[in-house]
């Protein structure tokens, strides 16, 4: 009897038109997961990330000059960034005034990269349809835990957070 390795979660790019990232035939589990994901996307709409900006990081600490990121200069703006050395992107969200939040875009269910649904202003996972509110909390499962949040500080000119 042969032993199969457990299937790793598929992590397709959150772009809705992107081809699957898997270049080999899918396992039965992956095919079922993709079917569920496709049905979920049809229900919740298309979530895709704006272009992810690579940003420097020192031991996980990120410091960004707000003047360099017009996306964050208006309330409600969002900016996905990929700190150097990070495995997953982080979404920075500007709330009202000078309030900022930062969330890992790693789905708390099985680790896919969640996309940004600009219409619903939610984080939608392309793998099994989890949806997170803009504050990172779960709106719809199967995920049960919120997105990982990183505390953010800002002095109005520089925004800082750490993923360490
Ligand atoms: S990995 Fe399953 S819902 Fe995101």
Q: Is the CB of 130 under 6 A from ligand 1?
A: yes
Q: Which residues contact 17 (CB under 8 A, 6 or more apart)?
A: none
pLDDT string in tens for the chain (164-residue length): 445 554 444 444 444 544 333 344 445 554 455 444 444 444 445 778 888 999 999 999 999 999 999 999 999 999 999 999 899 999 999 998 889 999 999 999 999 999 999 999 999 999 999 999 999 999 999 999 999 999 999 998 999 999 98
pTM attached to this predicted model: 0.73
Cα 57 to Cα 11, 20, 96, 155, 164, distances in angstroms: 24, 30, 26, 19, 10
Tokens 């875009």 identify what position?
A: 105
The DSSP code for 70 is G
Ordered alpha helix ranges (H), 10-145: 28-44
The pair of structure tokens assigned to 55 is 């940003």
CATH number of 53-162: 2.102.10.10
Q: Find the 86 Cα to ligand 1 centroid distance in Å.
A: 19
């Amino acid at each position: 009897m042969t032993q199969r390795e457990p299937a790793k979660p598929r992590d397709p790019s959150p772009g809705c038109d992107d081809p699957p990232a898997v270049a080999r035939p899918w396992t039965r589990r992956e095919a079922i997961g993709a079917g569920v994901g496709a049905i979920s996307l049809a229900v919740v709409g298309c979530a895709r990330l704006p272009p992810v900006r690579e940003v420097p990081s020192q031991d996980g600490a990120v410091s960004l000059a707000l003047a360099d990121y017009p996306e964050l200069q208006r309330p409600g703006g969002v900016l996905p960034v990929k700190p150097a050395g990070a495995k997953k992107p982080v979404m920075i969200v500007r709330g009202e005034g000078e309030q900022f939040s930062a969330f890992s875009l790693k789905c708390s269910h099985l680790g896919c990269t969640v996309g940004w649904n600009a219409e619903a202003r939610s984080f939608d996972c392309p793998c099994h349809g989890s949806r997170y509110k803009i504050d990172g909390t779960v709106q719809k499962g199967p995920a049960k835990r919120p997105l990982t949040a990183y505390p953010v500080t800002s002095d109005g000119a520089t925004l800082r957070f750490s993923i360490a």
